[in-house]
């Protein structure tokens, strides 16, 4: 996989998806204001990371960062 410092080169490929899965993905993309391709790429990367055990999943790390930002003062108090 490429690192974030490399310029990503996209390769076109075709596949088939369950219509309900594809519709759910399109809905998420629309709700998040992101291109469908971005979500597909993120999902593929998350899948590869999970299977290879390389790193925590992006959504887990994102949730952790949001939690830390929201509850920082509470966590500091609990650590005392």
Is the confidence at residue 13, as pLDDT, over 70? yes
Q: Can you tell me the mean pLDDT for 38-47?
A: 90
Instruction: Measure the CA–CA gap between 29 and 33, rounded to whole angstroms.
Output: 6
Instruction: Measure the CA–CA gap between 31 and 43, rounded to whole angstroms.
Output: 16
DSSP-assigned letter for residue 9: -
Q: Can you tell me the mean pLDDT for 38-49?
A: 89
- pLDDT band for 5, please (50, 70, 90 cuts): low
């Amino acid at each position: 996989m490429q690192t974030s410092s490399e310029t990503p080169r996209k390769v076109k490929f075709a596949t088939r998806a369950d219509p309900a899965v594809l519709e759910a993905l399109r809905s998420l993309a629309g709700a998040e204001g992101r291109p469908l391709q971005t979500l597909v790429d993120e999902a593929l990367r998350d899948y590869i990371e999970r299977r290879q055990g390389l790193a925590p999943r992006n959504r887990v790390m994102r949730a952790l960062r949001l939690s830390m930002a929201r509850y920082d003062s509470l966590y500091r108090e609990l650590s005392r």
